[in-house]
Structure 1
């Protein structure tokens, strides 16, 4: 099974411009996923679907995602609006007012969480959401499970984006997942970069954005001393592909021109044959 992940679409960054750059970048990614060699079975859209949480942008992103020939499962990010999200994605359950739900797949369960805390760029995860997650995890302790959420629950070294280790929401989330060995991975967005990390014995995978990417600078930052460091760059729009085959493998790619240096032709056929034969030797 192949699961695509896109994130941080930020539609509406250029208000009242249906052809804005972020829409063009989204369309490039969707065209690659629908028409490329690695067409997924389903896709996750992991938050910041819009930039300003406005109705016009939600209408546009919902229209774009509806055109996909595979199921699309969205979640909320800090730039989103919970009420408008519910209006334009009415298929998403909202227990106790939060957009949290489960996806049952063959041999795999995905739990999508709502980490939006209105007014904050960082994440949120209250006692109500934590109790819901605890109950869902207790239901199927033997089913391999992936948790999907917009905000990563750890520091990655990008100082101005890191949440800090003592955030109450992270403590509540940590408590909710404690002891649940069925959790195989946590898939996030928010950081606009491809990142993997081990956290609490779980692999956390962070997807690159379809919108602009963040610059890689792992130095401390002083909010009182602008140092002219690069913050955002125009790298090509990215996405992730998660392959489930009784185990999880995550790949990252970007939509750009790939200069092909070799193809599978007669000259490479002996090498391919040898490597395939070695698997059964």
Structure 2
């Protein structure tokens, strides 16, 4: 199974502009997925789908996703609005007021979580959501399972966007998934950077955004002393491809856009390819 991931689209940052920069970047990524050599079986959109949570931006997002010849499964981020989202994505399940649901495919399960708490920038995972997740995990303790959520539960080191490991929602989430060996990975967004880390017996993989990225600066930040460090940078629009087989879960991070080809599989490169592939067991 090949799973694509986009995140932190922030559509509508430039209000009421259908040709805005963030839409252009999203379209660039979708073209790479639709027209490129690695067309996925499905696409996960892991939150901050819009900038302001307005209905018009969700309408434009639904239009953008409508060109995809594969299913798209969205999650909520801190910039999202559940009610406006539901108006334009009526087929995405909601339970108990949360956009959390299970996608089953090819003998595997994907559990999409809702970590949105209106008015809060960081993540949330209340008792209601914990009870729901525990029930979904308990009902099938053996099928390989992927957990998808916007907010990473790890402390990544970018001070102004960090998640503290002692936050109650992190502790509650960790307790809910503890002792679950069938969790293949946890996929997140939010940090606008490519990051991977071991956590709670599995791997947290964080995808870079289709919108502009966070600058990598791991120095502590003093909120009382602005130091002119870069915070947002215009790196290329990014996405991830997760290859999920019986052998395990492998993630590739990629950017969209034109690039120079320095070598291709032609007669000049054919001998090298043969040598490399002949070294493998038959």
Fold conserved between structures, TM > 0.5: yes
Tell me how far apart the structure 1 counterparts of residues 110 and 278 of structure 2 sit (CA, whole Å): 35
Report 1:37-186 matches (<5 A).
37-186=37-186
**How many matched pairs?**
281
Give the corresponding residue for 2:260: 259
Q: Is the 8 A contact 2:29 2:239 kept in 1?
A: yes
Contact 2:111-2:146 at 8 Å conserved across structures: yes
What does the per-residue CA deviation read over 1:115-155, in whole Å, with 9 as the maximum and x for residues that have no partner? 00100010001000000000000111111111000000011
CA distance in 1, matches of 2:262, 2:107: 38
Offset, 1:257: 2.5
- Per-residue Cα deviation, 1:177-202 (whole angstroms, up to 9, x for no partner): 01111111000000001110111121
- Whole-Å separation in 1 of the counterparts to 2:9 and 2:159: 22
Match of 1:268 in 2: 269
Name which of structure 1's ranges 101-110 and 24-33 shifts more when overlaid on structure 2: 101-110
5 Å matches for 1:181-260? 181-246=181-246, 247-260=248-261
- Taking structure 2 as the reference length, what is the TM-score of the superposition? 0.98
Shift of 1:72: 0.4
Q: Distance in 2 between matches of 1:114 and 1:140?
A: 20
Deviation at residue 224 of structure 1 after TM alignment = 1.0
2:146 alignment partner, SS class? strand
Task: Report how far residue 274 of structure 1 moved.
Answer: 2.0
SS of the residue 1:136 aligns to: helix
Residue deviations 1:213-269, cap 9 Å, x none?
Answer: 000000100111111000000001000000011111000111132221111111211
In structure 1, the gaps of 5 or more residues are none
- Give the Å deviation of 1:88: 1.3
